[in-house]
Structure formats: structure tokens, C-alpha cells
Structure 1
Amino acid sequence: MKIAFFDTHSYDKKSFIQANENFNYEIDFRDYKLNENTALTAKGFDVVCVFVNDIVNEAVIKTLKECGIKLIALRCAGFNNVDLKAADEAGIKVVRVPAYSPYAVAEHGAALLMSLTRHIPQAYLRTKTANFNIEGLTGRDLYGLTAGILGTGKIGQIMADILKGFGMNIIAYDPYPNEEWASKSGTRYVTLKEIFCESDVLSLHCPLNEQTKHIVNHDSMKMMKHDAVIINTGRGALIDSKALVHALKHGQIGGIGMDVYEEESKYFFSDWSTDIMTDDVLARLLTFPNVIITAHQAFLTTNALKNLADTTLQNIRDFSDNAKLLNEVKA
């Protein structure tokens, strides 16, 4: 099997080269993303391996089929960037990595929360310049506050456990509630309106689809407490970014820690420090002192990278062996 890897970085290469010792596939790493302009470079390969910001729309899939691609292997859990209907019509299978390290993502969310509520970035920058003044760095205890978990899959459950360890009261919303887990963990399911109204910390862990796109919007943020903070390690488009800027500007929420951004594909995983940023919303978000943005790195641990590589290559082996595709994504 010949595999064309798109949007690869040094950490991808290292983990996949090591994992490939058990598979011996022919792998070609590309640093550019898969899109309508680059899809033709997949000619001569059997599989394309893509990440969250690669574009796999109908036009790209048509080109991939013409190039002889038989499988699209996502080295991530999300698949909202793939036109599954077009892939099905083209006869191209799609597989993903549903769980590479839910602990990595949840722990990063907790790190964002602590950094945001205790002003760690500002404190760090001050002491680096020998400024030991603590004026303006007053935080608040998490103990006794209410944490809302929006989406109670594996990552959401782990985040709930972490926040419960801080002594927080846990509420949750999920259209498919896990009552058994809720009973064991002491979590109370509430309505969507209630989770916005009652949460001091709102942590997003739901998938991105038509129902969840912009689930955090102008109206929902108006319902939130003025000192409530949002943590987003899910998908950027769960939040209406323009409405977020408005809410922050007018003090409707207390702040946000985000590892994803609605229009991140142009900027994340790249160095723009010497260029002019044309995304006015992202540029504005970066100016707020109560906003912390990391560039989609919640998954980035050695444990997760190993699991990503092992599972992705096993998915490809299952396909080549005509075995059952345990991690297939269907339209």
C-alpha cells in the first residue's frame, strides 16, 4: 500500500515512521494540505491520510477517485471536513481514529481553565521581565462553582471527573444522556438553556454537525453569567466567533480558553509571526486579556501520537486485508 500523507509536521513523521516499522508501507509525507489544488498529487497512491484542516469535499473526492485512491484515512476523530456522501458515491471508504487519547484533550482543557482563571500567562510574562507586581492578577476558587459539560462522550466524561476533583458541581447536557455514568459520577443532566444559565465554567465536548454549529451564539451567551468562562477543545465552529467578540467586548462572559477556532485552517499549524493577519475576528480575539488561544494542540502528547499512528496504520491494514473496518465512517 502506498500512502500519501497531507499536512504533516515533524511530530507526525516521527510517530508514523516508528509505527510503520510494524507495517512496512510506502509513505510519502507532504507538508501542504489536501485541497482542490493539491488532490492531483495523490495519483499513483492507494490511500490518502489527512488531518482536521485538509479539505475533502466533493470536488477533491472526484479527483481522488480519478487518481485511483481507494481509502481516505483520517488521523483524527473528527470528520466534518469530509463529504461522506460524495465518498460513498465514489466508492471510497473513510476511516478515522475515534479515540487516541481523550485524557490528553481533557487535561489540556483543564490547563486552559487554570491558566485563564489564575492569569498564568500574564504572571509569567511579568516575572520574565523581573516584574513581580501582582496587581490585576486576582483569580477565584474553582471549588464550589458549577461546571457545565456540553457533550458527555469520553472526553466530556474525563473533563467532568477532573473538574469534580477540584470540588466543582457538575451539570451536563447531551441529546443522548448517559444516565448510568451520570448516576455513578454524581452528574446532573439539565436542559440546554439551563446549562448556559447555571454554568460558571462551560466546557465544550460535542461533535460538530448541523445541530451543534454555533451552539454557542449571541443568544446563548446572553444567558450566561457575566463572570462565566468557556473552554473549547472541541471544534471551532461550535462557537459563533463574531458573537464571541461581541460578548467579550460587552462583558457578557468572563473569558474563554480555546484550542480551536472557527476559521483556523489558514493559520493554525503555521508561523504567522512576521506576516499580517487578515482575519479580523481572530486578530481581535488575540487582543483580549481574558482570552487564551492555543493552536489545536490539545491532542499533542506522545501517548496520543503513538495511538494515532498505530490506529491509522491498522485501519489501512484492515482495508488492504478486506477485514472489517472497525473505525469506518459512513454517510
Structure 2
Amino acid sequence: MKILIYSAKDFEIPFLEKANNEEHQVKYIPERLTPKTAALALGFDAISIFSADNGSSMVLERLKDFGVKYIALRSTGYDNVNINTAKKLGIKVANTAGYSPQTIAEHAIALLLALNRKLISSNHQVSNYNFSLSNLVGLDINKKTVGIIGTGRIGKAIARIMHGFNCEIIGNDINEDKELEHEYKVTYTDLEHLCKQSDIIFLSAPLNSQTHHLIDKDRIKHMKKEVILINIARGALVHTQDLLQALVSKRIAGYGTDVYEHESGIFFYDHSENKPEDKILQQLIDLPTVFLTPHQAFATKEALTILAEITFYNINCWQQNESGKNELTLELVR
């Protein structure tokens, strides 16, 4: 099968090459999939895309015209692909569901600890031989109330870790996990109560029409002023301008995030010589109560190995005229 890998990163190519094992004819390009770059897929049976790629209806229609039959996502989330349109066009789509929830969860905890214990400020101070502790006072995580919005694979891994911190855990999800309730004493509740009670809130829900801007000024007004919000899901779960307003006014204590609402075309690329004109992003970067990382939670050797293996598992299933366990277009069009 001829495969075009969009948004190919230098660090992931060796893992993809190993997983392919010279089975398929693969071309790697750094360009994102957009309406303009869709034409690059001409002559390929399949493409593989990442979370920053554009899988809108218009792009899918162009891909169909160019002969593309399969799209293998190198991500769990698929909010960037119009699955219904793909189904109608006969393009099969699969994601890398659950490739490494522990990896993502560990990064979420790293964001929390670095933000709470002010490790970035501390490092900057020490590099300037400033050993004062006046601005470095944090809080114990022990026995705090932790709210997890979205208790799927990643949320479950976060709950497991925070249980080890001796935290009281409350959750919100359309599907309540009985194992979490039994093993880690997770109590499910509505969003308003979760926001009111939590000292720490983790966002690990998928992005869809119900969760878009889930955290806005109306939700924030129910939160404690000392709350730390951690976003390990998608940037658009948060209304960024509302959040910035809350941070500047000290309505909430801090925001740790690996994602940004308008990250497409910015994250995953080096813009140090040509900074994007994005005032909202600049505000996030400048605020001392924000700890922003560039969508790197998945970037471990273990996770990249599994991600590559699942990507080619999906492709191999299609080559054998089989529907793999990760195929999204088997669902009925809604």
C-alpha cells in the first residue's frame, strides 16, 4: 500500500519506520494536511495524519477525488476529522485509541507539580543566584479534593496516580466507571458540584459539541479561588479569554496545559525566528500562573512505539480487507 504521512516529525519517523518493517511504501512530509496540501496525496492509497491536521468535509472530498481510501490517525482524539463525511464518501478512518494513557496522565501530574511548587520560577531564580523562597510557596497535594472531568482511559490513569497522593477524587463523565468507584473511591457528581468542591481540576474529556468551551466564565465562577486547572485534553475545552480574565483577576490560582485553543499551525513547529502574532498565546506565556507545554504529553519512547504500532496495525487491517478494532467509520452516521 502507498502511504503518505502528513505532519511527520523527525523524532517519530524512526518509530514509524520500525513499525512498518518495510511492508508498505511510505513517504514522510512535514506539511500539515490542509485544503492546499490535500493534492499531495494524489496517487496514495492511504494517508496518516496528526491532531493538527485538517480533516474537514472539504478536505475529505478532495482526498476522495485524489483516490485516498484510508486515513490512519496518529492520535486518540479525532475532533479534527469529520467522521460522518468520511463515512458518506467511503473513506475509512481509524485512530490510535488508548495508545498510552499512562504517558499522558504522567504529564498531567508533572504540569500540576511544576505549577504548584513553582519549579519554573525556582529554576530561573537559582540560575541568577537568587535563593530566596519568598515567591516559591506552594500547597500540599496530600488530601486535596481532585475533580476529573472525563474518566476514560486517561482520566482513569490520573485517578490512579492521584489516589496515591491520598486525595479525595470526584469525577464527571457520561459513563460512570464502577472500577474507579470501587478501587479508588471516586465519587461521580455534576459539573457544578465538581467545580465548587475541587482544589485541583483535570480536563481529560474528548472535544465535541457538548464539551466545546466547557470551562467558561460561568463555570469558573463556581470554582475555588485556590483551584489549579490542568488541561491534558484539547485547548477548546476551555474558553481561553474567559480563563485569562480569571487568572489576571486572581479568580483562580493557576492553569497548567499541554494544549491551546488556537494551536493549529503553531504547536509542533519552531517559531523562534518568526513569532506568531497571537496576543492570547503571548498572554498565556507571560502569566506566571500559567505553565504551558507544546502538546508534548505523548512524547515518550514507549508511547511513540505503541502509537506507531497501532497506526500500522490499522493500515495492515485495511490491506487485508478487515475492519480493525480502532475503525471509526464503522459507526452509523448520526
> If the length of structure 2 is used for normalisation, what is the TM-score?
0.97
Partner Cα separation in structure 2 for residue 258 and residue 220 of structure 1: 18
Which letter does structure 2 place at the counterpart of 1:158? A
Partner residue in 2 for 1:190:
189
Mapping of residues 283-302 of structure 1, within 5 Å: 283-302=282-301
Partner residue in 2 for 1:136:
135
Mapping of residues 93-242 of structure 1, within 5 Å: 93-242=92-241
Partner Cα separation in structure 2 for residue 105 and residue 309 of structure 1: 16
Partner residue in 2 for 1:272:
271
Please tell me whether residue 5 in structure 1 is matched to residue 5 in structure 2. yes
Structure 1, residues 97-142: CA drift from partner, whole Å, max 9, x if none?
Answer: 0011100000000000000000001111111232222221111101
Structure 1, residues 50-93: CA drift from partner, whole Å, max 9, x if none?
Answer: 00000011111111111110101101101000011211111100
Aligned partners of 1:97 and 1:311 also within 8 Å: yes
SS at match of 1:159: helix
Aligned partners of 1:205 and 1:233 also within 8 Å: yes
Partner residue in 2 for 1:82:
81
Partner Cα separation in structure 2 for residue 70 and residue 266 of structure 1: 25
Partner residue in 2 for 1:71:
70
The Cα shift of 1:174 comes to 0.8
Partner Cα separation in structure 2 for residue 304 and residue 25 of structure 1: 22
The Cα shift of 1:144 comes to 1.5
Instruction: Please identify, of 192-201 and 82-91, the stretch whose mean Cα deviation from structure 2 is larger.
Output: 82-91
SS at match of 2:312: helix
Partner Cα separation in structure 2 for residue 185 and residue 134 of structure 1: 35
Partner Cα separation in structure 1 for residue 184 and residue 319 of structure 2: 42
Partner Cα separation in structure 2 for residue 234 and residue 10 of structure 1: 24
Partner Cα separation in structure 2 for residue 156 and residue 231 of structure 1: 12
The Cα shift of 1:275 comes to 2.1
SS at match of 1:271: coil
CA-based RMSD of the aligned residues comes to 1.0
Which letter does structure 1 place at the counterpart of 2:257? M
SS at match of 2:322: coil
Which letter does structure 1 place at the counterpart of 2:17? I
Which letter does structure 2 place at the counterpart of 1:245? L
Which letter does structure 2 place at the counterpart of 1:307? I
Partner Cα separation in structure 1 for residue 70 and residue 84 of structure 2: 14
Structure 1, residues 164-220: CA drift from partner, whole Å, max 9, x if none?
Answer: 111211111112211343122111111111111101000011111111111111110
SS at match of 2:302: helix
Partner Cα separation in structure 2 for residue 53 and residue 67 of structure 1: 21
Partner residue in 2 for 1:50:
49
SS at match of 1:264: coil
SS at match of 1:306: helix
Which letter does structure 1 place at the counterpart of 2:4? A
Structure 1, residues 249-302: CA drift from partner, whole Å, max 9, x if none?
Answer: 111110010000111012101112222331111111111101000000001111
Structure 1, residues 238-257: CA drift from partner, whole Å, max 9, x if none?
Answer: 10011111111111110010
The Cα shift of 1:30 comes to 0.4
Partner Cα separation in structure 1 for residue 40 and residue 323 of structure 2: 29
Which letter does structure 2 place at the counterpart of 1:131? N
Task: Give aligned pairs, total.
Answer: 330
Partner Cα separation in structure 1 for residue 286 and residue 154 of structure 2: 29
SS at match of 2:124: helix
The share of aligned pairs that are identical, in percent, is 37
Partner Cα separation in structure 2 for residue 144 and residue 88 of structure 1: 47
Q: List alignment gaps of at least 5 residues for structure 1.
A: none
Q: List alignment gaps of at least 5 residues for structure 2.
A: none
The Cα shift of 1:233 comes to 0.5
Partner Cα separation in structure 1 for residue 213 and residue 36 of structure 2: 29
